[in-house]
């Protein structure tokens, strides 16, 4: 994807001044991360780093970031924050790496990292990347040629985010999982957490994720340089096998293919369902995503539940208490490992204190009367934390993490009555523009503020014009120029990508490009039935349901379940293990479409004896459509049932 030369604007003097502050504050002569990121390299993928997808288009293209070169020195172009540029260069390291003898990692071929542990009879795989295209390719072309073609005995999902399980079908066959030949290990609550995150708010989250990861941006010094946590996301199907083994409590010990594992549960930290673990035979600690080389999100910009910095910090304290005296290497689900006991303990302490500081100081300030935006504005990490490269805001930021902790404890309302029932952006925009003397007058003042480098203010003001009049080209271009400078200044990869994608859409309109599909057939199939019915409620069009009151009996023949299901007052409701004596219709079908047999019928029997048929085997992806189609038919023909 290319971008016309005349569209991308140069960095302004104000942006250069902001970026110089980062260059002056941080120690760019520190080369330790560059040494660690290269340490233990076994081999890289042959060719240019392009991994083909199932349709022939690239699922992963590291070559498009070839403009990122150099070592620890500060050689950032003026359009990129120098700290982010450094992180972007580090994330260019790719290949198969030795962590210690018996543990390897595949890094640089997806957003996440795949770890491989040698067992007695085969491989234990930790976090099999985001998509099956990347996991399959690196396994066949990198792992097997250099480590050997041993069977996979276990796959560990460290937590419930899709980049840590989505590639599982690329390396494991379903038959082997069903037979027990391969065991899938995950923390308690994994399936519900994983599926609900990708389905309940999946469409909105996917849209925002395309902003966050810069999926639509060109790869160059005025576009996408990094996602903060890795180069970006691969493209293709995200798959899922449901776990066959669950870890449930801290201190639990497992032996997987002869490898002893000690569990440290970390629910409601970086993910709703997450665990870390220690390998005493290797003196190695897997910190999952709770301790990596960045300040992480206490709220992710793609959208998700707020994360608890207090809990997070306590889990890291537990890691120090349980394993700190013995650990010799720490590896995680992103970035490169840390070696040496002293360095590891210092790393864990700084990460622990960073999350605790953000939580505690946010609460201290809120109890002193500060509003969330005021807290975000004044919050600064102490230099003893902020000068560590692994505590920089490459993914999360101090600002939005602090606001998130306020929201976690106190919610969205800041206590100011003026913010209790605000106007919509469009209505407020029209009123603001009128009060300020019209669009032309606002733009004249905004351009003067832009020339002074007051970009946050310009964004706030001109945004009102764009919402008031989306066809005001001058306003859209000024807002785009403003977002662009804010993006150039951002240390956070997601912030940069959000700003620059917003600028691109203001100039060029909305574009559609390939992106990961988290609402995959595997995800739909893994939904617990109650969650599936909740999802149907989300799909209910309230306007079209106005005035309708319908009841159904849902009979699932394979799972022996009954549900009384209804629509009333424009909302869906249901009761498990119950049938209604006054149902308008009974819908009889199997719960899981993969259990259908050729020639099997599914019936929706109405009160007057009529039937609606659906013949034949149905793929898993159509489970939602099957039931939704039947229910839609019954609602539409309710008048015939009376």
pLDDT digits (tens, 9 = 90+) for 479-521: 999 999 999 999 999 999 999 999 999 999 887 665 555 666 7
> Over the chain, what is the mean pLDDT?
89
pLDDT at 204 over 70: yes
- What is the C-alpha separation between 93 and 86, in angstroms, rounded? 12
pLDDT at 5 over 70: no
Q: Higher confidence at residue 478 or residue 55?
A: 478
pLDDT at 187 over 60: yes
Across the range 206-215, mean pLDDT stands at: 89
pLDDT at 112 over 50: yes
Tell me which CATH homologous superfamily contains domain 24-410: Metallo-beta-lactamase domain (3.60.15.30)
What pLDDT is stored for residue 367 in this prediction? 96
Band (611; pLDDT cuts 50, 70, 90): very low
Helix 455-468 / helix 439-451 crossing angle, nearest 10 deg = 160
Q: Higher confidence at residue 626 or residue 158?
A: 158
pLDDT at 624 over 70: no
**Under a CB-based contact definition with an 8 Å cutoff, are residues 293 and 391 in contact?**
no
What pLDDT is stored for residue 570 in this prediction? 87
Across the range 547-555, mean pLDDT stands at: 87
pLDDT at 232 over 60: yes
What pLDDT is stored for residue 601 in this prediction? 28
pTM: 0.89
pLDDT at 593 over 60: no
> Of 81, 84, 78, 118, which is closest to residue 98 (Cα–Cα)?
118
Band (620; pLDDT cuts 50, 70, 90): very low
Three-state secondary structure string covering 61-103: EHHHHCCCCCCCCCCCCCCCCHHHHHHHHHCCCCEEEEEECCE
3-state secondary structure of 546: coil
Q: Higher confidence at residue 509 or residue 295?
A: 295
pLDDT at 524 over 80: no
pLDDT at 612 over 60: no
Lowest average pLDDT, out of 90-99, 221-230, 335-344, 633-642, goes to 633-642
What pLDDT is stored for residue 237 in this prediction? 85
Across the range 32-55, mean pLDDT stands at: 93
pLDDT at 291 over 60: yes
Residue with tokens 């099957």: 626
**Under a CB-based contact definition with an 8 Å cutoff, are residues 138 and 109 in contact?**
yes
- What is the C-alpha separation between 8 and 31, in angstroms, rounded? 32
For residue 74, report the phi and psi dihedrals to the nearest 5 degrees.
-85, 90
What pLDDT is stored for residue 516 in this prediction? 57
Give the helix/strand (H/E) hosting 309.
Answer: helix 309-323
What pLDDT is stored for residue 615 in this prediction? 34
What pLDDT is stored for residue 632 in this prediction? 57
Band (304; pLDDT cuts 50, 70, 90): confident
Give the helix/strand (H/E) hosting 310.
Answer: helix 309-323
Across the range 116-145, mean pLDDT stands at: 97
Task: Spell out the residues 6+ positions from residue 347 whose beta carbon is closer than 8 angstroms to its own.
Answer: 291, 330, 338, 390
pLDDT > 70 fraction of the chain, expressed in percent and rounded? 89
- What is the C-alpha separation between 464 and 598, in angstroms, rounded? 58
**Under a CB-based contact definition with an 8 Å cutoff, are residues 625 and 592 in contact?**
no
- What is the C-alpha separation between 280 and 262, in angstroms, rounded? 8
Own/partner pairs for 280-284, CB < 8 Å, 24+ apart? 280/326, 281/102, 282/100, 282/102, 282/103, 282/117, 282/329, 283/100, 283/326, 283/327, 283/328, 283/329, 284/99, 284/100, 284/103, 284/327, 284/328, 284/329, 284/330, 284/331
pLDDT at 619 over 60: no
**Which tokens in the block code for residue 349?**
């302490």
**Under a CB-based contact definition with an 8 Å cutoff, are residues 503 and 485 in contact?**
no
Query: Is 419-508 a CATH 1.25.40.880 domain?
Result: yes
Q: Which residues pair with 574 in a beta bridge?
A: 565
Domain locations along the chain: 24-410, 419-508, 528-640
Band (626; pLDDT cuts 50, 70, 90): low
**Under a CB-based contact definition with an 8 Å cutoff, are residues 306 and 408 in contact?**
yes
Q: Which range, 194-208, 250-264, 623-637, is most confident? A: 250-264
For residue 202, report the phi and psi dihedrals to the nearest 5 degrees.
-60, -45
3-state secondary structure of 123: strand
Across the range 257-267, mean pLDDT stands at: 98
Give the helix/strand (H/E) hosting 557.
Answer: none
Q: Say if residue 436 is exposed, middle or buried (CB neighbours under 10 Å; 0-12, 13-18, 19+).
A: middle
Band (640; pLDDT cuts 50, 70, 90): very low
Across the range 405-416, mean pLDDT stands at: 95
pLDDT at 3 over 80: no
Across the range 233-240, mean pLDDT stands at: 91
- What is the C-alpha separation between 457 and 446, in angstroms, rounded? 8
Query: Is 528-640 a CATH 3.30.1050 domain?
Result: yes
């Amino acid at each position: 994807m290319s971008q016309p030369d005349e569209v991308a604007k140069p960095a302004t003097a104000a942006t250069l001044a902001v970026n110089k502050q980062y260059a002056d504050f941080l120690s760019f002569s520190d080369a330790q991360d560059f040494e660690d990121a290269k340490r233990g390299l076994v081999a890289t993928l042959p060719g240019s780093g392009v991994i083909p997808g199932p349709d022939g288009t690239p699922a992963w293209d590291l070559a498009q970031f070839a403009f990122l070169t150099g070592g620890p020195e500060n050689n950032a172009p003026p359009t990129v924050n120098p700290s982010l540029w450094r992180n972007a260069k580090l994330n260019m390291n790719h290949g198969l790496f030795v962590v210690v003898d018996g543990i390897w990692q595949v890094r640089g071929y997806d957003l996440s990292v795949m770890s491989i542990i040698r067992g007695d009879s085969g491989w234990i795989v930790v976090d099999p990347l985001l998509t099956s295209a990347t996991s399959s390719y690196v396994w066949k072309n990198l792992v097997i040629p250099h480590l050997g073609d041993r069977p996979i005995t276990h796959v560990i999902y460290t937590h419930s985010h899709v980049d840590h399980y989505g590639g599982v079908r690329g390396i494991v066959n379903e038959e082997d999982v069903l037979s027990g030949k391969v065991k899938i290990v995950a923390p308690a609550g994994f399936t519900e957490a994983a599926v609900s995150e990708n389905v309940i708010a999946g469409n909105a989250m996917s849209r925002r994720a395309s902003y966050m990861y810069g999926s639509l941006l060109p790869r160059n010094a005025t576009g996408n340089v990094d996602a903060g946590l890795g180069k970006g996301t691969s493209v293709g199907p995200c798959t899922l096998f449901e776990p066959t083994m669950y870890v449930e409590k801290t201190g639990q010990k497992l032996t997987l293919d002869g490898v002893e594992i000690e569990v440290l549960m970390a629910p409601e930290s970086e993910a709703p369902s997450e665990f870390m673990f220690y390998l005493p035979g290797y003196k190695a600690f897997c910190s999952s995503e709770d301790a990596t080389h960045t300040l992480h999100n206490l709220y992710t910009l793609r959208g998700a539940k707020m994360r608890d910095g207090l809990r997070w910090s306590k889990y890291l304290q537990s890691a120090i208490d349980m394993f700190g005296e013995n650990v010799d290497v720490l590896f995680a689900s992103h970035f490169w490992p840390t070696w040496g006991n002293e360095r590891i303990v210092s790393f864990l302490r700084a990460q622990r204190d960073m999350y605790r500081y953000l939580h505690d100081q946010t609460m201290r300030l809120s109890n002193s009367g500060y509003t969330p935006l005021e807290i975000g504005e004044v919050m600064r990490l102490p230099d003893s934390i902020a000068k560590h490269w692994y505590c920089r805001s490459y993914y999360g930021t101090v600002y939005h993490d602090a606001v998130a902790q306020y929201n976690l404890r106190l919610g969205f309302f800041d206590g100011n009555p003026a913010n209790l029932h605000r106007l919509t952006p469009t209505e407020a925009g029209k009123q603001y523009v009128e009060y300020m003397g019209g669009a032309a007058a606002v733009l004249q003042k905004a351009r003067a503020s832009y020339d002074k480098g007051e970009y946050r203010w310009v964004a706030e003001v001109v945004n009102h014009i764009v919402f008031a009049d989306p066809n005001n080209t001058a306003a859209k271009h000024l807002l785009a120029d403003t977002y662009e400078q804010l993006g150039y200044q951002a240390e956070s990869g997601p912030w940069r990508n959000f700003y620059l994608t917003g600028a691109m859409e203001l100039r060029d309109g909305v574009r559609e490009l390939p992106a990961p599909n988290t609402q995959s057939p595997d995800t739909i199939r893994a939904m617990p039935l109650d969650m599936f019915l909740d999802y149907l409620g989300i799909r209910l069009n309230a306007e079209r349901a106005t005035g309708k009151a319908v009841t159904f009996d849902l009979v699932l023949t394979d799972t022996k379940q009954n549900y009384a299901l209804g629509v009333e007052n424009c909302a869906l409701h249901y009761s498990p293990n119950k049938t209604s004596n006054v149902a308008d219709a009974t819908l009889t079908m199997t719960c899981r479409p993969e259990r259908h047999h050729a020639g099997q019928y599914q019936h929706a029997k109405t009160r007057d004896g009529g039937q609606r048929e659906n013949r034949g085997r149905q793929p898993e992806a159509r489970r939602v459509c099957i039931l939704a189609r039947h229910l839609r038919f019954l609602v539409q023909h309710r008048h015939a049932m009376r």
